[in-house]
Amino acid sequence: MAHVRVLVGTRKGAFILTSDGKREKWEVNGPFFGGWEIYHLKGSPVDPNRIYASQSSGWFGQLIQRSNDGGKTWEPVDNKFVYDGVPGTHQWYDGTPHPWEFKRVWHLEPSLSDPDAVYAGVEDAALFKSTDGGKSWNELSGLRKHGTGANWTPGAGGMCLHTILIDPVDPRRIFIAISAAGAFRTDDGGQTWKPINRGLRSNHIPDPTAEVGHCVHRIAAHRSRPNVLFMQKHWDVMRSDDAGDSWHEVSGNLPTDFGFTIDVHAHEPETIFVVPIKSDSEHYPLDGKLQVFRSRTGGNDWEPLSNGLPQENCYVNVLRDAMAIDSLDECGVYFGTTGGQVYASADSGDHWTPIVRDLPPVVSVEVQTLP
């Protein structure tokens, strides 16, 4: 019988939650790497027992851990992330040039075809790749050096490359997103890149429609339609039907279009999920009510989903990588909060149940659907 494995990264360690296909009873394992920040864990689609984890600490820096047995045991692999050539500068918060400095790995994206190949999105923003299971890392520096890098500026959370989407049809096409530079695309496996931010409007930057400088929070796509992208921007939920060449807003009737995470239903390419957050200065749900919003029309028309979620006195946040979708026949949706809860829905968001309530603040959630 199919089952699911939910990989949870928190501020104080990693947790692995497993259940059968009913997703009613859960086994919780962890913490792994207790006391360390785990920004992200993700398993290889080719070999689900191969899982990569980003482990970091303000004291000891960055580590990458790898498991070959579904998270039962781990081994540290290479943690040397060195920018290619002379790193140069980007813009600092005050507009002055600031040298590129590696801080941490925000996101790990395993290849769709090779368990030893994995991409790492890092702060200060850059894309690295390993082709030997994490034993060595090399920067795909065409992104940072394509021309606009000197104008990139950090968002409040740092200048992080947090989203990596590999086109399932053409793996040479990769989409990435950076706070606060925007979205970028390569069509040649990472050699050359171009900004794909036309149609985005950010009123908090000097030129609201600038080529770069937008605080993109996350991008998601359905595997069957890689040219259709959905974006949660700092403010605004956006959609592209041409692989990012142009975007239009689909915030529609959302009560607030600020938020961090966005994801797409496993079987319905026009069904998307967001978690609206009150504002960029108040990172919690509106009116103390935690609600996921679902659109079955690819945006614009949204419905609140709150059955099983706290509807009073709830002031948590849901971070950009903290939502995931399983691919069981009855699609499961998962998200984690900065209050340490991980919620699951086994019916596309209609009903929610907490799997765990008291973890450290949740940074990321991924789910593996296993045979």
Partner 1 sequence: MIRIVLPPHLRTLAKVGSEVTVEVVAPATRNAILDKLEADYPMLRGTIRDHVTLKRRPFLRFFACNEDLSFEPADALLPDAVVAGVEPFFVVGAIAGG
Query: Residues 19, 62, 337, 368: which binds partner 1 (CB under 8 A)?
Result: 62
* Exposure b/e, 57-81, CB count within 10 A at least 16 = b: eeeeebbbbbbeebbeebeebebeb
With CA atoms as reference, report the closest residue to 240 among 181, 196, 285. 196
Q: Between residue 287 and residue 306, which ones bind partner 1 under the rule CB under 8 A? A: none
* Binding of partner 1 by 58 (CB under 8 A): yes
Shortest Å, Cβ 82 to partner 1 = 6
Shortest Å, Cβ 79 to partner 1 = 5
Of the pair 56, 153, the CB lying nearest partner 1 is at 56
Of the pair 31, 336, the CB lying nearest partner 1 is at 31
* Binding of partner 1 by 35 (CB under 8 A): yes
* Binding of partner 1 by 147 (CB under 8 A): no
Neighbours of 220 (CB within 10 A): 20
* Binding of partner 1 by 36 (CB under 8 A): yes
* Binding of partner 1 by 74 (CB under 8 A): no
Tokens describing residue 215: 């605080």
Shortest Å, Cβ 81 to partner 1 = 8
By CB under 8 A, which span of 73-81, 116-124, 186-194, 211-219 interacts with partner 1? 73-81
Query: Residues 8, 16, 17, 63: which binds partner 1 (CB under 8 A)?
Result: 63
* Binding of partner 1 by 128 (CB under 8 A): no
> What counts of helices (H) and strands (E) characterise the chain?
0, 30
* Binding of partner 1 by 79 (CB under 8 A): yes
* Binding of partner 1 by 68 (CB under 8 A): no
Shortest Å, Cβ 66 to partner 1 = 12
Separation of alpha carbons 9 and 151, rounded Å? 31
* Binding of partner 1 by 82 (CB under 8 A): yes
Residues 6+ positions from 290 with CB-CB distance below 8 Å: 275, 306, 309, 310, 311, 314, 316, 337
Residue 85 burial (10 A CB sphere; 0-12, 13-18, 19+):
exposed
Separation of alpha carbons 262 and 342, rounded Å? 16
Neighbours of 361 (CB within 10 A): 17
One-letter amino acid of 140: L
Size of the site for partner 1 (CB under 8 A): 13
Shortest Å, Cβ 238 to partner 1 = 35
* Binding of partner 1 by 72 (CB under 8 A): no
Is the Cβ–Cβ distance between 134 and 66 less than 8 Å? yes
* Binding of partner 1 by 357 (CB under 8 A): no
Shortest Å, Cβ 25 to partner 1 = 31
Separation of alpha carbons 37 and 221, rounded Å? 27
Query: Residues 59, 203, 329, 358: which binds partner 1 (CB under 8 A)?
Result: 59
Separation of alpha carbons 330 and 267, rounded Å? 9
Binding site for partner 1 (CB under 8 A): 35-36, 57-63, 76, 79-80, 82
